[in-house]
């Protein structure tokens, strides 16, 4: 494919296959993504549909990566185009020389003025059937047969018109002509432009290729027979992998032996080396900076962190932005309009001026060549490919290219609280002792609570046990244990009866609460959860727990506000806790005790008021709001449902990268607008100049080449 018209024709052909619900074609990656609505759609049906409109296709074998296939295709095309460019120059240069030196080479005898032109005609014929001309002409004639206009059709019409008019004047009119030199110049510039264009595309795709190369081909697996080097695709969940200094981790897993420092820069965009020890998780693609560890595989292949990154980038690059859809529709009808303008140019020159047919053809050829919609077709997909690849290298996964485009227009961002703005796990913040004597300490109160809670599964119970372990407290095993879900637990130790839970739970069990009530109210006012501990019917202490703020959340909110984007917190938590968290973050718009449906309705309410709404969440209950928002953002540790509903996923829980998403989106949108402006402005200005004879065909080919290359080079600026 060579232009946006090609994209439109191939998409229509694929969508016309019975059983295909939709088809998306990407010009830059040359990949079509098909969504079948029926199971009887075969690969052969799809390939035949593509061939019927003058193109060719092949399917990826099972297990092939799109990125590796794309890289191989681009390298092969670059090599072929380099050879075609060499042949174009090798044949065109003698034609130019003969054209320029014709007055000197012509003799005084009859017919001597024709032989330089005859040699030009022979060399031009060789050029047309060489790899520099034949693929273009074949593509153009296929487009004519399929009645599908594209760039190859315009070039074919221009070159064929120049060559045939030259033959006609040479054989029939017996007069020298300059059209052979024109055809040679057009093909030379076209091949030169395609070479630079393929090179630029190759550079644009290099970012995602870097991601693929981060996964090693082999890893050291520990079997019963000892260490054995195996290919990565043979590793299964549960296998033990050993990795040492400077090794790239091949799978996601948990360290079961040893300790190390890892560099996760390729996953997160951060260069800081982080310590990891037994029990910690490590991700595929990370580099071990120091140490030797044995890792138990938990996710392998496409399910690993790097595999998900690569898949997300591929999906985004296969998608289309709204601007790209508009450009493709325009390009689809552009070629017939250009052919009509070229015909009108010939008629206008003949009827309205004294110029010859040769001049008219020359101007028509210039119109055909200069109007090729290459830049229009490349304007958006190249920018999207570069932006999504650059984002992936910085720990931002774009699942939907249109979502990245919409992020530039956000007016407000709504945040879930628990697990998004807070870590999602309560931590002990304060312990108050209520014992009437001084025999109990904070650690004693915590030890009672943790011992009673050590067999409970509630997050608060786990937080109490974790805090006790952090303080190296010894926890006795209870003689009896009973749990009331969501309220509290009771246990007995050596004849002592212990109750741990909410004020209502203890009151229902006959515990006198007067001494504890002031502290309970104080903890609630501070946005904390109050857990009361009672021993043998008396309250001995109140433990305050709170969900801690995610690192950098306050700075992220402030940065978003500086961009003129408002924020709000939507949470199912009670109002006191929600308000306390919002106050720490600088969020003034707080909606508490919200259900998933409430969150969805709030997103829609703001959208109905004309706002472009972003939503950031990580749980199953956030999925409806993530789907409804203009842009849904989540984190790599989110639930699968939330991840599938979001447009953009941030690797690790780095909330400050939301600002990076907005900045990248704004830069991408700016680049796309620049590209489209240049493409449309170029054609609007160039076609009239070619029609009136200001731009000759050779210069038209050069201008078309420059316009396409400039669009790609402008997109490459997003890499930095």
Partners of residue 450 on adjacent β-strands: none
Three-state SS for 231?
Answer: strand
On whether the CB atoms of residues 611 and 567 are closer than 8 A, the answer is no
Distance, CA of 519 to CA of 525 (rounded, Å): 10
Distance, CA of 181 to CA of 159 (rounded, Å): 10
DSSP track, 599-611: HHHHHHHHHHTT-
Other C-beta atoms within 10 Å of 665: how many? 23
Closest CA to 403 of 641, 608, 645, 636: 645
On whether the CB atoms of residues 374 and 3 are closer than 8 A, the answer is yes
Closest CA to 177 of 93, 120, 94, 101: 120
Placement of tokens 């637990």 in the chain? 489
Q: What are phi and psi of 501, to 5 degrees?
A: 165, -155
Q: Report which DSSP code applies to 107.
A: -
Distance, CA of 196 to CA of 82 (rounded, Å): 10
With 0-12 / 13-18 / 19 or more C-beta atoms within 10 angstroms meaning exposed / middle / buried, residue 172 is: exposed
3-state secondary structure 465-484: HHHHHHCCCCCCCCCEEEEE
On whether the CB atoms of residues 646 and 632 are closer than 8 A, the answer is yes
Evaluated on CA atoms 268, 271, 274, 279, the torsion sign reads positive
3-state secondary structure 115-172: HHHHHHHHHHHHHHHCCCCHHHHHHHHHHHHCCCCCHHHHHHHHHHHHHHHHHHHHHH
Distance, CA of 21 to CA of 184 (rounded, Å): 44
Token output for 669: 């949108």
Q: Report which DSSP code applies to 247.
A: P
Q: Report which DSSP code applies to 40.
A: T
520-558 burial: b if 16+ Cβ within 10 Å, else e: beebbeebbbbbbbbbeeebbbbbbbbbeebeebbebbe
Three-state SS for 269?
Answer: coil
124-146 burial: b if 16+ Cβ within 10 Å, else e: bbebbebbbbebbbebbebbeeb
Distance, CA of 544 to CA of 426 (rounded, Å): 10
Residue of 252, 263, 328, 416 with catalytic role:
416
Closest CA to 4 of 404, 377, 369: 377
Q: Is 416 a catalytic residue?
A: yes
**Torsion angle, alpha carbons of 526, 528, 534, 540, to 10:** -40
Other C-beta atoms within 10 Å of 253: how many? 28
Distance, CA of 336 to CA of 9 (rounded, Å): 13
Closest CA to 258 of 279, 283, 239: 279
What residues are annotated to the active site?
Answer: 416
């Amino acid at each position: 494919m060579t232009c946006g018209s090609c994209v439109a024709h191939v998409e229509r052909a694929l969508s016309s296959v019975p059983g295909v619900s939709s088809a998306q074609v990407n010009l830059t990656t040359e990949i079509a993504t098909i969504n079948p609505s029926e199971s009887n759609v075969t690969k052969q049906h799809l390939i035949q549909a593509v061939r019927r409109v003058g193109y060719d296709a092949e399917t990826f074998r099972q297990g092939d990566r799109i990125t590796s296939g794309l890289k191989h295709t681009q390298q092969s095309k670059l090599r072929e185009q380099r050879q075609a460019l060499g042949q174009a120059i090798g044949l065109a240069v003698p034609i130019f020389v003969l054209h320029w030196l014709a007055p000197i080479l012509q003799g005084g005898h009859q017919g001597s003025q024709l032989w330089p032109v005859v040699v030009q005609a022979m060399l031009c014929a060789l050029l047309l059937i060489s790899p520099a001309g034949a693929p273009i002409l074949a593509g153009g004639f296929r487009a004519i047969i399929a009645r599908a206009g594209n760039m190859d059709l315009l070039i074919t019409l221009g070159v064929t018109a120049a060559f045939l008019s030259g033959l006609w004047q040479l054989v029939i009119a017996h007069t020298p002509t300059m059209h052979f030199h024109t055809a040679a110049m057009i093909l030379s510039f076209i091949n030169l432009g395609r070479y630079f264009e393929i090179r630029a595309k190759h550079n644009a795709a290099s970012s995602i290729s870097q991601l693929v190369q981060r996964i090693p081909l082999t890893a050291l697996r520990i079997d019963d027979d000892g260490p054995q080097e195996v290919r990565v695709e043979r590793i299964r969940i549960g296998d033990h992998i050993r990795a040492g200094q400077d090794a790239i981790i091949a799978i996601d897993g948990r360290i079961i032996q040893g300790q190390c420092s890892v560099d996760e820069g390729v996953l997160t965009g951060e260069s800081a080396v982080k310590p990891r020890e037994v029990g910690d998780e490590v991700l595929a693609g990370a580099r071990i900076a120091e140490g030797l560890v044995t890792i138990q595989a938990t996710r392998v292949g496409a399910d690993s962190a790097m595999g998900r990154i690569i898949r997300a980038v591929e999906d985004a690059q296969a998608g289309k932005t709204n601007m790209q859809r508009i450009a493709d529709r325009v390009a689809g009808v552009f070629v017939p309009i250009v052919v009509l303008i070229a015909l009108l140019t010939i008629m206008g020159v003949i009827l309205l001026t004294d110029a010859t047919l040769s001049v008219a053809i020359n101007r028509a050829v210039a119109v055909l060549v200069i109007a090729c919609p290459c830049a229009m077709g490349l304007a958006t997909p190249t920018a999207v490919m570069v932006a999504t690849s650059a984002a992936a290298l910085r720990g931002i996964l774009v699942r939907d290219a249109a979502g990245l485009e919409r992020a530039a227009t956000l007016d407000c961002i709504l945040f879930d609280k628990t697990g998004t703005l807070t870590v999602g796990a309560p931590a002990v913040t304060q312990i108050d002792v209520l014992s009437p004597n001084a025999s109990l300490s904070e650690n004693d109160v915590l030890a009672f609570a943790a011992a009673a809670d050590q067999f409970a599964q509630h997050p608060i119970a786990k937080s109490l046990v974790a805090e006790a372990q952090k303080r190296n407290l010894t926890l006795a095993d209870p003689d009896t244990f009973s749990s009331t879900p969501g309220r509290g637990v009771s246990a007995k130790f050596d004849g002592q009866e212990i109750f741990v839970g909410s004020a209502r739970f203890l009151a229902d069990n006959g515990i006198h609460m007067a001494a504890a009530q002031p502290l309970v109210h104080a903890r609630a006012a501070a946005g904390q959860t109050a857990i009361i501990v009672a021993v043998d019917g008396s309250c001995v202490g109140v433990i305050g727990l709170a969900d801690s703020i995610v690192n950098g959340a306050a700075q992220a909110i402030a940065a978003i506000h500086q961009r003129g984007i408002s924020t709000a917190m939507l949470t199912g938590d009670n109002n006191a806790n929600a308000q306390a968290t919002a106050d720490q973050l600088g969020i003034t718009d707080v909606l508490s005790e919200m259900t998933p449906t409430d969150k969805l309705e709030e997103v829609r309410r703001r959208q109905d008021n004309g706002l472009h709404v972003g939503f950031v969440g990580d749980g199953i209950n956030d999925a409806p709001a993530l789907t409804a928002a203009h842009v849904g953002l989540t984190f790599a540790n989110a639930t699968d449902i939330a991840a599938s509903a979001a447009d953009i996923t941030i690797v690790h829980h780095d909330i400050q990268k939301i600002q990076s998403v907005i900045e990248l989106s704004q830069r991408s949108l700016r680049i796309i607008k620049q590209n489209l402006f240049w493409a449309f402005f170029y054609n609007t200005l160039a076609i009239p100049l070619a029609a009136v004879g200001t731009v000759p065909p050779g210069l038209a080919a050069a201008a078309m080449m420059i316009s396409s290359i400039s669009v790609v080079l402008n997109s490459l600026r997003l890499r930095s």
